[in-house]
Structure 1
Amino acid sequence: MAEIKFKLYENIFIETNVQNPDYDGVILILYPEEKNVPKPRHIGSFLDKIAAIDKHVHKAVTLWNCDYVSGGRLIISPTGKIGPYNDARVLRDAAKKGMTRALEAGCRKPLLAVQNFVDFPEGELVSILGALEALYTPLQIRERDPTNNFIRLGIHAHEKADEKFEKVVRNAIALEKARILTRDIAGGDPERMAPGKIVEYVKDSFRDVSNVSINVMDDPKKIQKEYPLLAAVSRAANHIDRHRARVLTLEYKPSDLARVTDTLILVGKGVTYDTGGADVKISGRMAGISRDKSGAAAVAGFIKACSILKPPHLKVIGVLCLCRNSIGEDSYVADELLVSRSGKTVRVTNTDAEGRFAMADSVFKMSELADKELNPHIYTIATLTGHAKLCYGSHSAAMDNHSARSMNHATRLQLSGTLLGEGVEVSVVRSEDLAVNVGKCKGDDLIQVDMEAKGRNHQLAAGFLIKVGGLEDKNVRYTHLDIAGSAGMPPEEPTAVPILSLCHLHKVLL
């Protein structure tokens, strides 16, 4: 696997001097003048002079010849106006644009200067993550040319070495490694990241990791027995080995289980390609649909972050529900009556609603497992409905069941997202969102999706998972995250949401 190598004190360094000759350019995030954010000592007066010459420096990324910084190149990347409705994303975007411009200018040893900004408590971390995001190269390009697009990266925030800032940098590196894994899976094309290939990639990613165990179920007969709804989705793809369904389970355990206070159980939708099945997608709507595995990718990425940062209080179980929704003579079709793992009969109504089927049996299995775990919280993460994107644009929709809502969970997740630059909107699951999934014909316990429903489509999908997963009356916290609008679609790279929000909320960070 062609790895992007980020290692503190090997190719990433904390610097206290913007004139260090080891770099070939300095990137400065420029805040609005009225915010009075202190500038690095050597270049404050230079910035004041050029701002007086050209006010445009506060509107667009510019590159200046400056003798007061490493390499004689100063890339100024402004945040633009910061108002009361802005969040930390303005810092992420400025850092990313600045790093992109530096690379375009030929910098191979850039130095990023970030400042502490009281309006955004996690601003330094977000800024570094934005810069690291710009250094990402997609896996399939790296496999052709494994050369990193940088040689050395410096990060400057203080004139003196600071232990607290070192923790920020270490957190950023760990989170970016987790996001790289996520982007690689989510962004890989349908062949490079077919179900079997994802299993190989994940095994390779955790090969030398002692605190994560891996289990793979790939026997079609076993999957048919234990995950019948997933098996139905996969039927038309089963004759090609690499496209057959897999259920990949990862488990993170800290070194001292006696210190565990919480168990997180994450189930991710990993549909490597979604043709729509027999209800085939039309009008070119298949383009970009290989991103339908972003939920499963995020599950793997979150566990990657845990494996590096080693939170002592968490046990984490992640399930990647990997399949391909193909068209063929053995496609599952509308009107079929299937029996789920929970024993509930489910009538197929639209084969393009395959995502909830891919996860449903795993949710039920995990709801049973939760009874044996300490303080469990179950998540489903999925690019599940276009409705979520219509409602919330590029933000994730967070939906708690009754038990999670009593803890105000989704609102706290939203706050973590705001602090780390990931947009999360709280959406409420109501009684009608469960009731709409009840079967219409004799013998049907549930329907896959109510095709007559005119609204609340992302909420009713959560309602289906609650009902088929046995969580309707169970006092187990459950949250469904619909990332259809936030996961990122071509030509943009995958965003790797909601890893940052989850890591912040559940105190994974150092």
Structure 2
Amino acid sequence: MYKYVQEFKLYENIFIEPNIQSANYDGVIVLLYPPELNVGLPRQITSFVDSLSKIDNHIHKVPTVWSCDYVSGGRLVLSPTGKVTPYHDVGVIRDAVKKGMQRALDAGMKKPLLVITSVVDFPDGQLVGILGALEALYVPLQIREIKDTKNFIHIGFQSDEKVTDVFERVVRNALALEHSRIVARDIAGSDPERMAPAKIVEYVQNSFAGDSNITINVIEDEAVLAKEYPLLAAVNRAANHIERHKARVVEILYNSSNPNRVTETLLLVGKGVTYDTGGADVKISGRMAGMSRDKSGAAAVAGFMKACSILKPPHLKVTGVLCLCRNSIGEDSYVADELLTSRSGKTVRVTNTDAEGRLAMADSVFKFTEIAAKELNPHIYTIATLTGHAKACYGNHTAAMDNHSAKATNHSSKLQFSGFRMAEGIEISTVRSEDLAVNMGKCKGDDLLQYDTDAKSRNHQLAAGFLIKVGGLEDTNIKYTHLDIAGAAGAPPEEPTAVPILTLCHAHKVLI
């Protein structure tokens, strides 16, 4: 295990604790649900909390800390969900738990016990709640590397006053998912030098060291990249003079322990632009700040692969590709008006160097289209912080777009359902004929435009249309879904969200 990975281990520093009065903890965190949900409190504190409600109704608005002789450590954190309506999802539990854990840490607790009750309205509420607690404990990689910042000694989780196999499975799933999200957060959240392409390769290789079900292949030769990934190579041209900034394509393969049980093949392409200056079409007015998060798509792919390596789904064969490059400014920058030839042989006219993400992924999508034709039940994904338009449309939710084959199976609807269950908002966008047509070339010899600068709307859909056309997915029966996480990935000063790892794990039955 990579020495800088934040670790949670069941029965080492994570425990399932049936006794709310155990001497092993220095405080207890309890969620307060609205009365209409009829979620009971632990019997030891029911009267105590009822008395507090009569003294100060504020306990139903913000997390509070109380001296309480009836719980472990003599300290009780009450963290309210607030009002829960039919329009809320399980995110209300995640947010309440996260705030409660943060309040416990602020109070000086190092050994908190979280009471996480099952709620009928939210079937995955315990899992998502535990993930909220673990998320509150996350320390960014670059801080962990500077000093010992361990913010807890051990954590306890309680469901009922007994240990059950069902709850233990929930905890094990949560720990596996959180380890995968840590990988994604570390890559996405670290600065553009700490996670330059070469540094991401090093981190990924170390993170998967010892995982016998994972194979990693790194393509870094400049000549090979120029030949096999020409659009990615064009984006990275200005960065090639600095070794650590040179482009890399990282292929991560997960193999089932029993190939005969494989029923689905997933092929994921992640945008890994380690820093996006906008290139020759440079970003202005402070819009460059935060562009180190433009690698969040590749980070999510790496995290999903980590989840597969831990949970070992026997029915999946998965390949993830991290398209790592840096959109720099320099004398060798690619510029608007250039005519590039893609891996597919289609020519692409550059119109805006700040629309680099679709070029970074395009050749890998086409490669996967060729591979998918030989695989069992394939599904191709692209995951990217691709357009500001997606954020303008859907805020901090992911835009999901299917090609015709995936749409025939209502795949984005399934993702939306899984996102609702796992507190990752998914909004469905439909790719229409005009979203493909708008990418057609206008000058003689142009097969495709990188981006139609005259387009006034549907910018995130036309980006999906470009990837469908350049990837050779327009007329095939291969399922393809594009996930634009521009608004969902998390912008500074917030930590990366690691979306859509939870949704993908739920939708593709990775959980044990």
8 Å contact 1:342–1:468 — kept in the other structure?
yes
Question: Where in structure 2 are the equivalents of 1:404-423 lying within 5 Å?
Answer: 404-423=406-425
Deviation at 1:146, TM superposition (A): 3.3
Deviation at 1:34, TM superposition (A): 2.0
Query: 2 CA distance for matches of 1:346 and 1:55?
Result: 62
Equivalent residue for 1:325, pick from 315, 324, 327? 327
Equivalence for 1:343: 345
- Superposed CA deviations along residues 300-358 of structure 1, whole A, max 9, x for unmatched, are 00000010000000010000000000000000000000000000000000000000000
Question: What is the letter of the counterpart of residue 292 of structure 1?
Answer: D
Deviation at 1:120, TM superposition (A): 0.4
Q: How does the TM-score come out when normalised to structure 2?
A: 0.99
The DSSP-based 3-state class of the residue aligned with 2:236 is helix
Equivalence for 1:41: 43
The DSSP-based 3-state class of the residue aligned with 1:94 is helix
Equivalent residue for 1:178, pick from 161, 177, 180? 180
Q: Which structure 2 residue ranges, 5 or more long, are not aligned?
A: none
Query: 2 CA distance for matches of 1:230 and 1:35?
Result: 52
Query: 1 CA distance for matches of 2:5 and 2:24?
Result: 24
8 Å contact 2:269–2:381 — kept in the other structure?
yes
Mapped pair 1:77 → 2:67:
no
Deviation at 1:160, TM superposition (A): 1.1
Deviation at 1:503, TM superposition (A): 0.2
Query: 1 CA distance for matches of 2:258 and 2:410?
Result: 29
8 Å contact 2:270–2:384 — kept in the other structure?
yes
8 Å contact 1:3–1:146 — kept in the other structure?
no
Question: Where in structure 2 are the equivalents of 1:62-211 lying within 5 Å?
Answer: 62-211=64-213
8 Å contact 1:2–1:146 — kept in the other structure?
no
8 Å contact 1:332–1:351 — kept in the other structure?
yes
Query: 1 CA distance for matches of 2:45 and 2:6?
Result: 32
Q: Which structure 1 residue ranges, 5 or more long, are not aligned?
A: none
Query: 2 CA distance for matches of 1:178 and 1:127?
Result: 17
Instruction: Count how many residue pairs are aligned between Structure 1 and Structure 2.
Output: 510
Equivalence for 1:352: 354
Deviation at 1:42, TM superposition (A): 1.1
Q: How does the TM-score come out when normalised to structure 1?
A: 1.00
Question: What is the letter of the counterpart of residue 39 of structure 1?
Answer: L
The DSSP-based 3-state class of the residue aligned with 1:42 is coil
- Superposed CA deviations along residues 150-171 of structure 1, whole A, max 9, x for unmatched, are 0000001111111000000000
Query: 1 CA distance for matches of 2:151 and 2:185?
Result: 17
- Superposed CA deviations along residues 158-214 of structure 1, whole A, max 9, x for unmatched, are 111110000000000000000000000000100000000000000000011100000
Query: 1 CA distance for matches of 2:201 and 2:4?
Result: 16
Equivalent residue for 2:296, pick from 289, 294, 297? 294
Deviation at 1:40, TM superposition (A): 1.1
Equivalence for 1:400: 402
Question: Where in structure 2 are the equivalents of 1:111-510 lying within 5 Å?
Answer: 111-510=113-512
Q: Please, what is the CA RMSD of the aligned residues?
A: 0.6
Deviation at 1:266, TM superposition (A): 0.3
- Superposed CA deviations along residues 442-488 of structure 1, whole A, max 9, x for unmatched, are 00000000000000000000000000000000100000000000000
- Superposed CA deviations along residues 231-254 of structure 1, whole A, max 9, x for unmatched, are 000000001010000000000011
Question: What is the letter of the counterpart of residue 50 of structure 2?
Answer: D
Query: 2 CA distance for matches of 1:494 and 1:333?
Result: 31
Where does structure 1 differ by over 6 angstroms across 4 or more consecutive aligned residues? none
Identity %: 72
8 Å contact 2:278–2:353 — kept in the other structure?
yes
Equivalent residue for 2:18, pick from 11, 16, 26? 16
Query: Which one is further off, 286-295 or 50-59?
Result: 50-59
Deviation at 1:56, TM superposition (A): 1.1
Question: What is the letter of the counterpart of residue 184 of structure 1?
Answer: D
Query: 2 CA distance for matches of 1:309 and 1:408?
Result: 26
Question: What is the letter of the counterpart of residue 143 of structure 1?
Answer: E
